[in-house]
Structure 1
Amino acid sequence: MNVPNFGPETNPARLRDWARVVEGLGYDLLMVSDHVVITPDVEEQYPEPFFEPFTTLSWLAGITDRVRLGTTVLIAPYRHPLLTARMATNLNALSDGRLILGVGAGWAQQEFAALGADFAARGRATDEVLAALPKDIPLWIGGNSPAALRRAVRFGTAWHPLRQTLPQLRTGLARLYALAKTADQTSPTPGFAPRILLRLTDEPLADDERIAGEGSVEQVLDDLAVLRELGASTVVLDPFVGDPAETERPEAAWQQLATIIDNWRRRDT
């Protein structure tokens, strides 16, 4: 589950409610996003307040018992590699080994400028962070680009694509496996852990350009079944469609999460 750690009415009480819903329904992973400076390009999608991921996950570790905790995704160039490695190591220890670190290169040019980070060199900076991270923490490499696929093969426990169609995911997987086959390394082929939208509609949507995870209950359940057949070890559901006002009304997202897990359990038995 990708929990909104940003937006109107997001506060400690709301985050606590999210954690209780996610863990109470039986989901096994709670993830949050990452931004440091809410520049205009970030504000359009992820408005204030924005709770920093390491701080937020450390707090959530203390109020949850079972659910794994992670980032989707940590923007690697925003922090020094050794600081990131230290924070990740400490958080993993404090959470009894529950951390999954999703990592990406970032996209918000204004935020890079505000931090004094070189946007053009973000790929190299991301590689430096990934090389410094401890090997006992699962690393999910976020992104849909060829560079993200190469990074997943080189550093990742899993490839973590974000909000794509099923055909796009199939194409990406084929490229990932081709890269892994030709790579000069002994580590295993990375797994597959996509983040998909969760948007339920009363009527089925046309499959043309339909993002995985949106549509009728049956369409979303079918998507999950296909992703399992494609080898997904975990599927992260993202109920934030894009309107910041959604963070003021989380009850609709909670109901959709309950609907999907209840119907999935019935189908899967």
Structure 2
Amino acid sequence: MTTALGLGLPQNHQYDVGRDVPDVARAAERIGYESLWAYERALFPEPATQGLFGMPDVPWPDDYRSVAEPLVTLSLAAAVTERVRLGTSVLVAPLHGPFQLARSLATLDAASGGRVVAGFGSGWSLDEYAAAGVRPFEERGRVLDEVIEVCRAVWGPDPVTYDGEITRIASAVVGPKPARPVPILLAAGNKQAQRRLVDHADGWLPLAMGAEQTAAQWRELQELAAERGRTRPIRTVLRANAKYTPKPYEGRDRALFQGDAEQIVEDLVAHAGIGFEEILIDLQQGTRDAEELKDVAAEVYEKARAAGV
């Protein structure tokens, strides 16, 4: 089975969002990519109050200094494409009011002809939670649960009713509706999140951590699904954060997906063997501008397909 390939859109500070997102989106569809993805990083605290992913003393990467809002980014891509799916990987759902987020996703799906994939995560930045002001960081799991419930309600038949901690809809017509049921995928990095995924979501959207570790996580999730009686399949999309270098990276300390196109594809091949339906490759880190991003994306796609991915 051929693995679908997706591409991360140019959201970081070195890109001109209004010009480069449509340009790269058109090129990616032409190259053959089957999906386009946007991620969320709401702010860059300076000085940082916590390390990357909440780990002490791990600095935030410079790429996070200015990241374009994901749904606006996908709207720009939707307007100039016809075929590719449009996904968030990931959108930090508890930073958003559940009702308005559900409406925004529904509108984007309706406008794009049913191409949206909603990838949600609970986030890790205390500063982002403080700025968003929806709920405290400690309540992020409960907020994510409500986001999923509100999305299902708002996207479903009218009249819509819902009574939650944040959202109360007495009885209302809410439109536009999505063109089809929008799939909800979760990053789900711990046991509690995995249970949420198995019980309430359509699929899994992890970050590649090495073929062996990622395969072990996938087996664990499948076992949990069997334990909890889930019968419908779990959709799978793997996120690969690449760090492109024009020349091959030399040395034993090469990080995962670091190096030239050949080395990136080498890691793609290893992860494709796990059996993921789709792999999205984010090539923003290391590419200087949209022209280089398009060139590298074309080379990676060609070499990946030649390698059987």
Name the TM tier (shorter chain): 0.7 to 0.9
Alignment of 1:9-28 (within 5 A): 9-28=15-34
SS at match of 1:133: helix
Task: Tell me how large the CA RMSD over aligned residues is.
Answer: 2.7
Q: Distance in 2 between matches of 1:76 and 1:95?
A: 21
Q: State which of 148, 166, 172 in structure 1 corresponds to 2:217.
A: 172
Residues of 1 paired with 2:141 and 2:27: CA distance? 36
Deviations for 1:83-132, whole angstroms, at most 9, x for unmatched residues? 11111111111100010111000111111112223111111111111222
> Residues 147-178 of structure 1: CA distance to partner in whole angstroms, max 9, x if unpaired?
33223212222211114111220121121112
2:159 counterpart residue number: none
Q: Does 1:230 align with 2:247?
A: no
SS of equivalent residue, structure 1 residue 70 = strand
- Mark the CA change 1:56 to 1:218 in structure 2 (over 3 Å): closer, same or farther: closer
Q: Residue 70 of structure 1 is aligned with which of 87, 98, 119?
A: 87
Q: Deviations over 1:2-24 (max 9, x none)?
A: 11323134330111221122112
Deviation larger for 253-262 or 61-70: 253-262
- Does the residue aligned with 2:89 lie in a helix, a strand or coil? strand
Alignment check: 8 A CA contact 1:29 1:68 kept:
yes
Q: Is the 8 A contact 1:180 1:189 kept in 2?
A: no
| Structure-2 separation of matches of 1:263 and 1:9 | 25
Unaligned runs of 5+ in 2: 1-6, 49-59, 156-180
Preserved contact between residue 8 and residue 281 of structure 2 (Cα < 8 Å): yes
Match of 1:65, as an amino acid? E
What residue number does 1:124 align with? 142
Deviation at 1:218, TM superposition (A): 4.8
Query: Could you tell me whether the CA contact under 8 Å between 2:96 and 2:132 is conserved in 1?
Result: no
Structure with the higher fraction of residues in helix conformation? 1
**Structure whose CA Rg is larger:** 2
Greater shift, 169-178 or 188-197, is seen at 188-197
- 1:45-60 equivalence runs, <5 A: 45-48=63-66, 50-60=67-77
Q: Which residue of 1 aligns with 2:291?
A: 251
- Equivalent residues of 1:21, 1:254 under 8 A apart: yes
Normalising to structure 1: TM-score of the pair?
A: 0.85
Assess if the C-alpha contact under 8 Å between 1:58 and 1:91 holds in 2. yes
SS in 1 for 2:64: coil
Question: What is the TM-score when the length of structure 2 is the normalising length?
Answer: 0.75
CA distance in 2, matches of 1:204, 1:192: 29
Structure 1 residue 261 corresponds to structure 2 residue 278: no
Provide the C-alpha distance between the structure 2 equivalents of 1:3 and 1:163, rounded to a whole number of angstroms.
18
Taking only the aligned residue pairs, the percentage that are identical comes to 29
Residues 18/147 of structure 1: CA separation in 2 closer, same or farther (3 Å cut):
farther
Write the distance in 1 (CA, Å) between the matches of 2:191 and 2:10.
27
Whether the 8 Å contact between 1:77 and 1:105 is mirrored in structure 2 is: yes
* Matched position secondary structure for 2:16: coil
Report the residue type matching 2:98 in the other structure.
P
Question: Alpha-carbon deviation of 1:139?
Answer: 1.4
CA pair 240-146 structure 1, distance change in 2 beyond 3 A: farther
2:158 corresponds in structure 1 to none
Show the counterpart of 2:240.
196
Higher mean alpha-carbon deviation, 144-153 vs 65-74, is at 144-153
Distance 2:252 2:35 in 1: 28
- 1:74 CA drift (Å): 0.9
Residue identity in the other structure for 2:85: R
Q: Could you list the per-position Cα deviations for residues 203-244 of structure 1 after superposition, in whole angstroms to 9, with x for gaps in the alignment?
A: 476788842x33464554343334333221110001133x7x
Matched positions, count: 262
Quote the Cα distance in structure 1 between the aligned partners of 2:35 and 2:266: 21
Instruction: Give the Cα–Cα distance (whole angstroms) in 1 for the partners of residues 9 and 292 of structure 2.
Output: 13
Letter in 1 for 2:144: T
Whether the 8 Å contact between 2:14 and 2:289 is mirrored in structure 1 is no
Which letter does structure 2 place at the counterpart of 1:224? L
Which one of the candidate residues 31, 34, 49 is aligned to 2:40? 34
Q: Give 2:101's aligned residue.
A: 84
Matching residue of 1:93: 110
